A and B are shown apart, each in its own frame.
Chain A
Amino acid sequence: MKYLSKLQQVLETGNFAVTAEIGPPKHASAEGVRHHAHMMKDYVDATNITDCQTAIVRISSIATGVHVMDCGIEPIVQMTCRDRNRIAMQADMLGAYSLGMRNLLCLSGDHQKFGNHPTSKNVYDVDSMQLIYLVKRMRDEKKFFSGEEIKEHEPQFFIGAVANPFADPFEFRVDRLEKKVEAGAQFIQTQCIFDMERFERFMEMVRERGLHERTHILAGVTPLKSWRGAKYMQSNVSGMIVPEEIVQRLKSAEDPKKEGVDLCIEQINYIKDNIKGVHGVHVMAIAWEEIIPEIVQRCGLYPRPKFED
């Protein structure tokens, strides 16, 4: 079988995948990105490149992808619907594919109100659901979003999407995941899991509908550095649930950073060993990329599978 990307190969050959996240900088040097990429390259199968996350201007995800690839990691290009209309999105997709990028993650994007340009205008010409469907149609039916034929060299992305089991209405979250799978999402990365009980309930519903057999679900985790960080997410980030015992555990820890890493490792091990239908883990070490090797190693997920090109 020919795989669209290495990530797809890892997942479809039955491995428990590991993806991480690299956040591009708010300046024009990729030195930091390259440093992080070199450090984590043997420990992850692919890494997300965020697309101006929290609506803050940064090096674009595709340009950063070039640096990341150059360092030997397969990028997962994040594409939000916030900043580009369907013309610009497709232009960027053609460009990303021409540069060798093979994974595309389709998402709505944080509202611009949260970023450093709150007076800007958002686009949302298409939404994330439509984007998934349109990228699939580009690949499978060789059509631009308008329906016009792509005569040759259509981009063939391995298509990803996100799911947030912690947003509301809870019972509609699995419905919406099903819609994304119907639209063409081949892998799903979830929002950071802190409320394990709720995630388990979510996965139970996913399994009841057999969605775990139609898409690859990667559980999102985030190592916390301090109780303040946990508290901030608990009260200020819409769509996140951080149980109070996690805040307290970090607060009472002698070494909060070590405690945060330990907690993250416990979560990964728990998910890996106990929650059926999860095919990998997505580690979002926000502004803490250097911790990835330790986490992957201590979870027994190192070395990563290698394939012939």
Chain B
Amino acid sequence: MIVAQQKPLQEIADMVSDCKKVLLVGCAGCVTVCLSGGEKETEVMSSALRIKRRLEENPLTTVTFTATRQCDPEYIAEMDEMVKDVDAIISLACGVGVQYVAERYSDKWVVPALNTNFIGGSTVHGIWEEKCGLCGDCVLHKTGGICPIIRCSKSILNGPCGGSQYGKCEISKDTDCAWALIYERMKTLGKLNKLMEIQPPKDWSTSRDGGPRRATREDVIIG
């Protein structure tokens, strides 16, 4: 899932400091699961902003709505009526949701309440970790199911580098060395010989370097 975290309240308040009425839009997708932009967080943020503005003697009116998914126009359309009389929309979705909302309501001031961090999952309750580098050409079959593109701080394909020690990455004692994990896993699987193959330079054009990507499935296109 996409993991996102809330921006500091002050930063969000500053974005709407000249507004009298705002709509806060949550998302029932990934950001609900990672506890940053679901219905509950939307209500809490709405109250927090109102209280803050009241204390500043500049009251703010808020309305809230939580879309099933903000990355889908049909679910955003459900709030067409609500946006009419607000000065701004605060989206508690990932960066995708914010853009869909901004695209639909082109005359409205749309601001992000979250920082979209990465795609990953939780390790224990309250802690999420990045797992996929979205490179567009998966190599997990070569690396024992551990992604070196994003979990190695240098994205190297022929690791581990000389900074790997005691299973940790040179950047921090709190960061596992992805290549140490890969090595251990391949050893367990009896496939260490696979690590002796020199992995060729990656084609990064399938990654972010080729401009915005598009995925097409001809068989499901309607019309």
Contact = CB atoms under 8 A, between A and B. Distances in A.
Given A114-B170, A127-B161, A169-B160, 16 more contacts: A108-B154, A127-B156, A127-B158, A128-B161, A129-B157, A130-B200, A133-B200, A134-B201, A167-B161, A167-B164, A168-B164, A169-B164, A175-B196, A182-B198, A239-B162, A239-B164
Interface string A177-201: 0110011000000010000000000
Interface string A76-119: 00000110001000000000000000000000111101100000
Chain B binding site: helix, strand, loop or mixed by DSSP?
loop
Nearest to A184: B198
Contacts of B160: 167-169, 172, 176
Interface of B: 153-171, 177, 180, 183-184, 192, 195-196, 198-201, 204
A11 B163 CA distance: 28
A167 B162 contact: yes
A125 interface: yes
A127 B198 CA distance: 11
B165 A168 contact: yes
A164 B155 CA distance: 19
Given A108-B161, A182-B198, A238-B165, A127 B154 contact: yes
Interface of A: 81-82, 86, 108-111, 113-114, 122, 124-130, 133-134, 145, 162-164, 166-169, 172, 175-176, 178-179, 182-183, 191, 238-239
A179 B158 contact: yes
20 contacts: A81-B154, A86-B201, A108-B161, A108-B163, A111-B154, A113-B153, A127-B154, A127-B155, A127-B157, A127-B159, A129-B156, A130-B200, A164-B162, A167-B160, A167-B161, A167-B164, A172-B183, A175-B192, A183-B198, A239-B163
B223 to A, nearest CB: 40
Contacts of A126: 201
Given A127-B157, A175-B196, A167 B163 contact: yes
Contact of B196 (A86, A109, A178, A239): A178
Contact of B183 (A81, A133, A162, A169): A169
B104 to A, nearest CB: 32
Contacts of A175: 192, 195-196
Contacts of B162: 108, 162-164, 167, 191, 239
Q: Which of B154, B160, B204 has the most CB of A within 10 A?
A: B154
Nearest to B162: A164
